[in-house]
Structures are given as C-alpha cells and as structure tokens.
Amino acid sequence: DTVPCNPELWHSDPFCATLRDDRLYGLGSCDMKGFFAIALEAASRFKAKDLKEPLILIGTADEESSMSGARQLLASSRQLGRKAVIGEPTGLQPIRVHKGVMMEAIRVKGRAGHSSDPSLGANAILGMHQVISALIALQEELKARYRHPAFKVDYPTLNLGAIHGGDNPNRICGHCETLIDIRPLPGMSIETVQALLEERLSGLFSKDSGLGIEILPLFPGVPPFETPAEAELTRYLESATGKSAGAVAFGTEGPFFSALGLETLILGPGSIDQAHQPDEFLSLSDIAPGISLFENLIGRYCRA
Ligand SMILES: [Zn+2]
C-alpha cells in the first residue's frame, strides 16, 4: 500500500515509474516498493536448492494506516524464521529503535442549558479544563520518568492536538472533545499508558458534577520498538553498511515482527524525506548497493 497522492502536484504520473535526473519517480518508489523490487532482485540471484534456510518475502496490507496485515500476522502466530529486515526508507542505515504511536480521543459530556443560569447545565468546557490540567501534569511526569538516549527528543511526548466543544456563547457547553497523540518510548507499553490515562482522568469529576468522561483510542496504536545494540543482526548490518544502528522518528511494523520472535531491524533504500510527498523518488544510486547488501544478507542467513 501507499498513502494517497495529489496527482496535480506531481511533475509526472504518480502511477507510472518515470526516470529523470538519475531518479526513479513514482508513488511508493521510496516508501517502500523500491525496496521490494531490490529484495526480489537480490533473491533471484539464488537458486532455491542453494538455500538451506527459508527466505520469506512478506507484503503486508494497510501498513500506512491500521497495520492490520502485520496485526493479523501476529495473531496467526506463524513461525516465520529467526531474523527480519523491514525495508522502510532509511537511506540504507540500520535502524533498531523507534517510539510507539498512540492517538486517543477524550470526550467530556455535560448538559447544555441557558448561559444565564449555570445550575441549568453542566459545562463540558470547564470539565475539559480539568482534563487538560491533568494531561499537562501527566506530560511532565512521563518526561521526568522516562528517557532514552537514542532519540533526539529523548522523552515520551504527549501532544494536545485538537479540541472541539460547544456551539454558542449563550449556551452551556454540553460536549467537549480533545484529541491527543502520545509517543511512548521503548520499555513502555500501550496498555500501561492507557491505564495511566484511565487512572488520571476517570476520577476527575464527582458524581454530582453532572459531567462524564470517555477515553477512546482512535486506532489500536503502534507499540514502541527496540532491538538491542548488541543483537547479532544489529552488529552484522552495522558492519555490512559501515553505519551505526540508530533511531527513526516514524513508526513501523517492527514491534509486530519482534513480537513474533524475530530479531528485527529496519533498513531500506531511499529517504523518508521523500515519503508521502509529491514527486516521491528513489535515487538510482541506492539501487545497486541495496541489491548487493540484501544479496549478502540472504547469503549469510539462508545459504549457510
Ligand atoms: Zn509511509
């Protein structure tokens, strides 16, 4: 899958591969179908009988949105092998760690009424004020409690991204909703953070306040991901690329493959700067080194 595109902003047809200026332009060329072509080419250089261990190329559905393909794979508990490399665009640098992603809606339900008499209603905006204060306190607490040196922003973030509520100045606000995004660090789980939210928010309003609260995940979340620096695959990919394994600021299906018991790293051609953009491209100069890197990888783990 790819993200949607705006063809009118492209200089060539996004649905055709176009060669221009030593680049291959096309939707998904960098994120991350270029990798798939490179992996297929690397695999085609082996005969099946040469491989002592299975080589599996996996294409998952909906990686850009729900990651439902990877979730399904995890639910099926399939035995896939020992190691996995996910070809997201990393400029052929091995990536062993990223944060998780959670997005939640917090809804405060009150009761609308005429603004002239507060006792006629329960003001959801006032309730949301308490929610936001609690969220700011939680933001500070997470920042003080968790750190990870691999990241430029080395603490878990909590962003207040949107707020909607009320309709008129002369009406007590009956509903208010805020949308938040939390990026947990490796070592934190989605479930732990959801439990923290529940704990801090669910008891905010007394019974007689007339206010209620609901916390709803906007999607099931992507767990944080970390493969140890000393893992065998990390060490090998560092020596094969000459680049030390790092972190990225985007989420991947890495945590799902890790949960299936595979030692997993993220490594692929192209730059994330070109992903999700008009005129997405893959530099031709990434292709030959990519093929030889994956050919060596297959030789090392499957031929031996
Ligand atoms: Zn993408």
* pLDDT tens by residue, 90-119: 999 999 999 999 999 999 999 999 999 999
| Angstrom distance (rounded) from CA 35 to CA 29 | 8
CA of 64 from ligand 1 middle (Å) equals 5
Task: Give a yes or no: residue 292 inside a domain.
Answer: yes
State the average pLDDT for the chain.
Answer: 95
> What is the pLDDT at residue 292?
97
Task: Give CA–CA dist 131/198, Å, rounded.
Answer: 11
Could you tell me which residues come within 8 angstroms of residue 249 by beta carbon, excluding any fewer than 6 positions away?
98, 99, 151, 152, 153
188 and 271 in a single domain? The answer is: no
Average pLDDT over residues 262-282: 95
Q: Within this chain, do residues 177 and 256 fall inside the same structural domain, yes or no? A: no
Active-site pick, 1, 140, 198, 214: 1
pLDDT at 77: 86
Has residue 304 got a pLDDT over 90?
Answer: no
Report if residue 200 sits inside a domain. yes
Is 2 among the domain residues? no
Q: Are residues 25 and 172 in the same domain?
A: no
Q: Are residues 183 and 139 in the same domain?
A: yes
pLDDT more than 70, % of the chain: 100
Dist. CA 275 → ligand 1 center (Å): 6
User: Do 155 and 241 belong to one domain?
Assistant: no
Q: Are residues 67 and 157 in the same domain?
A: no
> Beta strand 157-165 with 175-183: parallel, antiparallel or unpaired?
antiparallel
pLDDT for residue 185:
97
Q: Check 21, 31, 63, 181 and give the catalytic one.
A: 63
pLDDT at 294 over 80: yes
Could you tell me if 12 and 86 lie in one domain? yes
Kindly state whether residue 242 falls inside one of the protein's structural domains. yes
176-224, pLDDT tens digit by residue? Answer: 999 999 999 999 999 999 999 999 999 999 999 999 999 999 999 999 9
140, 169: one domain: yes
* Domain of residue 115, residue span: 102-217
Query: Which of 170, 191, 217 marks a domain boundary?
Result: 217
Distance 190 CA to ligand 1 centre (A): 21
Claim to verify: residue 129 and residue 185 sit in the same structural domain: yes
Length of the chain: 304
- pLDDT confidence of residue 55: 95
Asked whether residue 1 is assigned to any structural domain, the reply reads no
Looking at the structure, tell me whether residues 204 and 169 fall in a common domain.
yes
Q: Is 1 a catalytic residue?
A: yes
DSSP labels, 67-90: -HHHHHHHHTT----SEEEE---S
DSSP of 141-176: HHHHH---TTSSS-S-EEEEEEEEE-S-TTEE--EE
Determine, yes or no, domain membership for 52. Answer: yes
Backbone angles phi, psi at 267, to 5 degrees: -160, 120
Distance CA 120, CA 198 (A): 29
Question: CATH code at 261?
Answer: 3.40.630.10
Is residue 225's pLDDT more than 80?
A: yes
Note the pLDDT tens digit of each residue in 20-36: 999 999 999 999 999 99
Query: By the 8 A CB rule, do 172 and 114 touch?
Result: yes
Flag whether pLDDT at 1 surpasses 90: no
Residue 2's pLDDT is what? 87
Q: How many domains does the chain have?
A: 2
Q: How confident is the model at residue 79 (pLDDT cuts 50, 70, 90)?
A: confident
Residues with a beta carbon under 5 angstroms from ion ligand 1:
31, 275
Which of 217, 242, 269 finishes a domain? Answer: 217
pLDDT of 78 above 90: no
The CA 156 to ligand 1 mean position distance, Å, reads: 22
Angle between helix 232-241 and 287-298 (nearest 10): 140
Cβ neighbourhood burial of 123 (10 Å; 0-12, 13-18, 19+): buried
Same domain? For 73 and 113 the reply is no
Please state, for a pLDDT cut of 90, what percent of the chain lies above it.
93
> How many Cβ atoms are within 10 Å of 238's Cβ, its own excluded?
18
pLDDT interval class at 120 (50, 70, 90): very high
Look at residue 48 and tell me if it is in a domain: yes
Q: Which of these three, 171, 200, 217, is where a domain ends?
A: 217
CATH number of the domain where residue 122 is located: 3.30.70.360
User: Is the predicted pLDDT of residue 168 greater than 80, yes or no?
Assistant: yes
Q: How far apart are the first and last CA of the chain?
A: 33
Q: How far is the CA of 15 from the centre of ligand 1 (A)?
A: 16
Q: What's the gap in Å between 246 CA and the centre of ligand 1?
A: 19
Q: Which residues pair with 182 in a beta bridge?
A: 102, 158
| 47/36 Cα distance (integer angstroms) | 19
